[in-house]
Structure formats: structure tokens, C-alpha cells
């Protein structure tokens, strides 16, 4: 029985050789270290200067106030009116600018996003992810796209040629149009429409048709199975999404997304605290709606090849894969606008541009999506359906009844907002906890009282400790 330590794995070597950022900074040679320090201090000084300008109010409402790009466009419209240009010219220009903004946001994300997702998933699975092409593997998506474009685009013999051609284009409609009502700052949304919430639900329901047409026109059993699964799931999960958004709308009294953000700003509270169950229902149902991995039975690789896009090859399949990434950040934007305060962060939005705050929140929600994907196994079709119809929908309806009473109390009573909104928070939290437990017990989900921790890694004090033990330290 040998006592010699087992050879270190690559990860253990990484842990042993890992130096902190500060250590690495000190180790830099002088001719790099001092210019870097200079740049850092200069940036700090510039930040302080800008902070002084903001506090003194020199920026408020000027066209160069980049905390809200809406300032620039409204000043441009005013200027165009002064010059005697017809209003259509000014509106057309601003509409084009906004459209280019949305297009470049989504397009840029489609380039970067697959790299981000693969790197994050790799972190969850304790491996490196793509790191060969370019710095940190950043050129990997471009290499993938080049490969996909070079591939031959096959059309099956029995396929319906028109309907086979349409879906990769159609499926991008909701992923693009859904960005229109999202407010990026107080005056900065592409179309600040009065019916923003209903618009978002309506636009998301258009994706169903594209998925179905893709599956049907392929003339392939697996594709049709995947399409039917996806359509059934999307139709079912639209109901919890609508019900959870309806709860939010009852509180805010407006279907306008910017008004929902303003309501959360006024009461200094995020909807997720006020309506925790609605936020959970929205998160889970939207993963089903956009076909992400815990709920992607429509394209379950282990069962039905690739689901509704089995027969698509080359860049057409690439478009189907890309639209998932676009949908993920769109849902993240909806989620952070409705439930996480949108562009506001308890007063921080006067210092930092609102769109940066919203982008950070979108990134956080997207991280949760990747986390779910890296953690949960794929659910079965019947599990998903019964979860929607027997769990999410009844509880959402009960929540809607409670919320309508609470919103009446908030609107009608003369008590301060702290009492009414705070009381609603307490009532909702308690009701959610006991309601979810009671309902889960009643239909047999039985939440585990004393879940045992996974002993293999937790027993030795975590993954890094396990690696160090293996490395013989």
C-alpha cells in the first residue's frame, strides 16, 4: 500500500499555481506597471470630475448627457423643427438610429453570445471551454459561423420548399421586435407604447408558428415530433407568463413598461420582492417559451435528434441556434424591466447611465439561465405539462386574486406606501411559502424536508479541497 500522493490533475496544478490579481500586478516590470498606474489614476480623476459635473447639475437634459440617449434625440427633433424640416424627416432619422441600435445590440450579442455561453457552461462543468482561436478563444464564434456558411444547405426531397425556406427568417421576428418597448433609460426606449406588456406577450406568441412550420415542412418524423412538443409547451407556458405579468400590471396600474419601472422607482421596491411567485413562474415559463435547456424537449438531442430543426443544415441551423441566444437576452431584458427595477437601481441611475444598469441586470438574468442549463437535467414532456397546468397556473390564479385585493388597498387607502406595500410584501411572502408547500404536498411533489447535501464533494469541503487532497497536500 503506497502512500505516495497521486499525480496532480490539471485543475489541481492550476489551483496550486494560481496567483491573485494583486500579486500578478506587483510582479509586472516597472515600465509596464507605472504607465498602468498612471492610466488607472487618470481614470479615477476623470470619474471624480464627471461626478462633480453630475452633482452640480451641469449635465441635466443637455444633448451630450449620455446617461440618457433620449436627450440627444429629443434635442435633435427640436433642432429639426427649428430648421423648418418636416417632422417626418426627424422621426425617420431617429427611428433609423434606434433601429440600428437594436440591430447592432442583437447582432453583436449573436457574435459574442455563443462564446460567453460556452465559456460559462465550461466553468460549470469544470473545463476550459473554447480557448484556442484568438485571445481567450474570442474568435471561436466567427470560426463557427464561417464553418456553417461553408456547409451545403440541404433541402429534403419531400420538403415543402416555401415553408422550409421561411422559418429561419420568421423565427427572428419576435427576437428583434420584442426589443421595441424595453426602456433603457427614462426617455430612451424605441417605442414607449401604452400596451407594452401585451405587445411583449403577443410578439412572443409569433414564434410558435415559425417553430411549427419548420417541423412540419421538413417532412421528417423527428422534426414533426419536436415541433408538436414545442408548440404544446409554448401554448401551455404562455398562460403562466401572462398571469404573472398580469399581477405586476394590477399593482402598477399601467401596461406601459416605462411606467412599471417608474412605479418600482417610486416605491423603492423591486417587483420580485412583492411578487416572488410571479417572478419564479415568469423565469421558469420563459425558459420553456424560448426553448432553453432545462425545458428544451422540443429539440432534445438524446431523443429526437435535433427536434424541429433536424433537417436544417449549414447557416440555417445556425440561425435556429443563434435565435436562442437572442431570445435569452430579450427575456432577460423583460425580466429585469418588470421584476428587477429595469434601468433603475435605487438612485444609482442618476450617476451611471441607465442602459448600463439594465445591461448588467440582463447579464445577471442570463447568467441564471446558463446556471439552470448547467445544473438541471432535461425534464420530460409530461412533467413539464403537468407542472404548467397543475402547479403554475392554479397558484398564479390564486395569487392574482390576492394581488387584486392588495392593489385595491394600495390604490384606495390613505396609509403611507410603506404600510400598504410593505404589508403586501409580508402577506405575499407568507402566502407564497405556505401556498407552494401546501399545493406541492397536495399534488404529490412533496418538497424534501431534510435534503442531504451531495457528500462526495461537500464532505471534503468543496471541489478545490477535493483537488488538493488528490494532489497530495
Partner 1 sequence: MESPGIIIAFWVLAAVTVGGCLMVLVARNLLHALVFLVLAFLGMAGLFVTLSADFIAVAQILIYAGSIAVLMVFAIMLTPLAARDNANSLYLLPALAAGLGIAGLVSVVAVITPWSELKGDALGQSDPVTTVSAIGDLLLGRYVLPFEVASILLFFALLGAIVLVHERRGPREGS
Only segment of 158-166, 332-340, 371-379, 443-451 that touches partner 1 (CB under 8 A): 158-166
Q: How far is the CB of 235 from partner 1 (least distance, A)?
A: 6
Q: Which residue has the cell 440618457?
A: 68
Q: How far is the CB of 215 from partner 1 (least distance, A)?
A: 10
Phi and psi, residue 189, nearest 5°: -140, 150
Encoded one letter per residue, x for contact with partner 1 by CB under 8 A and - for no contact, window 328-347 reads --------------------
212 sits near partner 1 (criterion: CB under 8 A): yes
Considering only the stretches 23-31, 102-110, 119-127, 202-210, report the one whose residues sit in contact with partner 1 under the rule CB under 8 A.
202-210
CA atoms lying within 13 Å on the CB side of residue 344: 22
Q: What is the DSSP letter of 27?
A: T
- Determine the Cα–Cα distance for residues 99 and 107; give it in Å rounded to an integer: 12
121, 155, 160, 262: which one binds partner 1 (CB under 8 A): 160
- Residue 188 phi, psi dihedral angles, 5° rounding: -115, 80
Closest alpha carbon to 328 in 114, 123, 54, 162: 114
Do 226 and 298 form a contact (C-beta atoms < 8 A)? yes
If one asks whether residue 223 binds partner 1 (CB under 8 A), the answer comes out as: no
- Report in angstroms how near the CB of residue 269 gets to partner 1 at its nearest: 24
Among 164, 216, 263, 391, binds partner 1 (CB under 8 A): 216
Residue from the set 166, 315, 440, 463 that interacts with partner 1 by CB under 8 A: 166
Comparison of 25 and 166: residue with beta carbon closer to partner 1: 166
Q: How many CA atoms lie within 13 A of 15 on its CB side?
A: 16
- Minimum separation from the CB atom of position 260 to partner 1 (A): 14
Q: Which is nearer to partner 1, 254 or 313 (CB)?
A: 254
CA 87/CA 84 separation, integer angstroms: 9
Tell me the angle at which helices 315-339 and 354-375 cross, rounded to the nearest 10 degrees: 120
Q: What is the Cα–Cα distance from 49 to 58, expressed in whole angstroms?
A: 12
Nearest approach, Cβ of 207 to partner 1 (angstroms)?
Answer: 9
Which CB sits closer to partner 1, 164 or 280? Answer: 164
- Residue 255 in the binding site for partner 1 (CB under 8 A): yes
Query: What are the helix (H) ranges across 27-171?
Result: 30-56, 70-82, 87-124, 140-150, 161-165, 167-170
With CB under 8 A as the contact rule, which of the stretches 40-48, 55-63, 108-116, 211-219 interacts with partner 1? 211-219
**Among 302, 244, 252, residue whose Cα is nearest residue 277:** 244
Q: Which stretch binds partner 1 (CB under 8 A): 20-28, 134-142, 200-208, 430-438?
A: 200-208
The CB-based long-range contact list for 156-163 (8 Å cut-off, 24+ gap) reads 156/218, 156/219, 156/220, 156/311, 158/219, 159/217, 159/218, 159/219, 159/311, 160/216, 160/217, 160/219, 162/217, 163/213, 163/216, 163/217
Q: Which three cell numbers stand for residue 468?
A: 488538493
Residue from 111, 206, 425, 465 touching partner 1 (CB under 8 A): that is 206
Q: Closest approach of Cβ 310 to partner 1, in Å?
A: 18
Q: Is 267 in the site for partner 1 (CB under 8 A)?
A: no
Q: Which stretch binds partner 1 (CB under 8 A): 33-41, 144-152, 162-170, 448-456?
A: 162-170
Residue 246 Cβ vs partner 1, minimum distance, rounded to whole Å: 13
* Whole-number Å distance between alpha carbons of 204 and 174: 6
Q: Which of 14, 125, 194, 266 binds partner 1 (CB under 8 A)?
A: 194
Query: CA torsion angle for 76, 82, 83, 88 (degrees, to 10)?
Result: 60
Cα dist from 107 to 188, 318, 400, 456, whole Å: 20, 14, 38, 43
Cell of 190: 424605441
Q: How far is the CB of 89 from partner 1 (least distance, A)?
A: 10
Give yes or no for residue 213 binding partner 1 (CB under 8 A). Answer: yes
State yes or no: residue 235 binds partner 1 (CB under 8 A).
yes
Query: Number of H helices and number of E strands within the chain?
Result: 23, 2
163 sits near partner 1 (criterion: CB under 8 A) = yes
- Residue from the set 49, 61, 86, 472 that interacts with partner 1 by CB under 8 A: 86
> Quick check: 205 binds partner 1 (CB under 8 A)?
yes
Q: 121, 341 in Cβ contact below 8 A? A: no
From 159-167, 304-312, 324-332, 419-427, span contacting partner 1 (CB under 8 A): 159-167
Q: Which is nearer to partner 1, 165 or 439 (CB)?
A: 165
Exactly one of 87, 394, 417, 459 binds partner 1 (CB under 8 A); which one? 87
Residue 155 within binding range of partner 1, rule CB under 8 A: no
Comparing CB distances to partner 1, the nearer of 43 and 86 is 86
312 vs 214: CA distance, rounded Å: 9
The residue ranges that bind partner 1 (CB under 8 A) are: 86-88, 91-92, 160, 162-163, 166, 193-195, 198-199, 201-203, 205-206, 208-209, 212-213, 216-217, 228, 231, 235, 255
Amino acid at each position: 500500500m503506497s502512500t505516495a500522493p497521486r499525480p496532480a490533475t490539471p485543475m489541481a496544478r492550476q489551483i496550486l499555481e494560481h496567483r491573485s490579481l494583486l500579486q500578478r500586478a506587483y510582479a509586472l516590470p516597472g515600465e509596464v506597471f507605472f504607465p498602468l498606474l498612471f492610466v488607472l489614476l487618470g481614470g479615477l480623476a476623470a470619474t471624480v470630475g464627471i461626478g462633480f459635473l453630475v452633482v452640480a447639475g451641469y449635465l441635466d437634459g443637455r444633448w451630450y448627457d449620455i446617461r440618457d440617449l433620449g436627450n440627444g434625440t429629443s434635442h435633435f427633433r427640436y433642432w429639426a423643427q427649428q430648421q423648418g424640416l418636416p417632422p417626418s424627416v426627424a422621426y425617420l432619422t431617429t427611428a433609423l438610429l434606434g433601429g440600428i441600435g437594436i440591430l447592432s445590440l442583437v447582432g453583436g450579442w449573436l457574435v459574442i453570445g455563443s462564446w460567453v455561453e460556452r465559456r460559462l457552461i465550461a466553468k460549470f462543468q469544470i473545463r476550459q471551454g473554447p480557448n484556442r482561436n484568438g485571445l481567450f478563444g474570442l474568435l471561436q464564434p466567427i470560426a463557427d459561423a464561417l464553418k456553417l456558411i461553408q456547409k451545403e444547405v440541404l433541402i429534403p426531397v419531400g420538403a415543402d420548399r416555401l415553408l422550409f425556406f421561411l422559418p429561419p427568417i420568421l423565427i427572428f421576428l419576435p427576437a428583434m421586435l420584442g426589443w421595441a418597448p424595453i426602456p433603457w433609460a427614462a426617455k430612451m426606449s424605441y417605442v414607449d407604447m401604452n400596451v407594452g406588456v401585451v405587445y411583449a406577450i403577443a410578439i412572443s406568441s409569433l414564434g410558435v408558428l415559425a417553430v411549427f412550420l419548420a417541423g412540419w415542412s421538413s417532412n421528417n418524423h423527428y422534426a414533426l415530433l419536436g415541433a408538436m412538443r414545442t408548440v404544446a409547451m409554448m401554448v401551455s407556458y404562455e398562460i403562466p407568463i401572462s398571469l404573472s405579468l398580469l399581477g405586476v400590471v394590477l399593482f402598477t396600474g399601467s401596461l406601459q413598461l416605462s411606467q412599471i419601472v417608474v412605479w418600482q422607482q417610486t416605491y423603492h421596491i423591486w417587483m420580485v420582492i412583492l411578487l416572488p411567485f410571479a417572478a419564479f413562474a415568469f423565469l421558469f415559463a420563459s425558459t420553456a417559451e424560448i426553448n432553453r435547456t432545462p425545458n428544451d424537449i422540443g429539440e432534445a438531442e438524446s431523443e429526437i435528434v435535433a427536434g424541429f430543426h433536424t433537417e436544417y443544415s449549414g447557416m440555417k441551423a445556425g440561425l435556429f441556434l443563434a435565435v436562442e441566444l437572442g431570445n435569452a437576452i430579450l427575456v432577460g431584458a423583460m425580466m429585469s424591466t418588470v421584476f428587477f427595477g429595469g434601468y433603475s437601481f435605487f438612485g444609482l441611475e442618476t450617476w451611471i447611465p441607465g442602459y448600463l444598469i439594465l445591461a448588467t441586470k440582463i447579464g445577471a438574468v442570463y447568467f441564471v439561465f446558463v446556471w439552470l442549463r448547467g445544473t438541471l437535467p432535461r425534464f420530460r414532456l409530461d412533467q413539464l405539462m403537468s407542472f404548467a397546468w397543475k402547479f403554475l397556473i392554479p397558484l398564479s390564479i390564486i395569487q392574482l386574486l390576492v394581488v387584486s385585493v392588495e392593489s385595491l388597498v394600495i390604490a384606495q387607502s390613505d396609509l403611507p406606501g410603506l404600510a400598504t406595500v410593505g404589508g403586501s410584501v409580508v402577506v405575499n411572502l407568507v402566502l407564497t411559502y405556505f401556498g407552494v408547500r401546501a399545493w406541492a404536498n397536495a399534488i404529490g411533489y412533496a418538497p424534501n424536508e431534510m435534503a442531504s447535501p451531495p457528500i462526495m464533494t461537500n464532505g471534503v469541503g468543496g471541489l478545490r479541497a477535493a483537488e488538493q487532497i488528490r494532489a497530495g497536500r
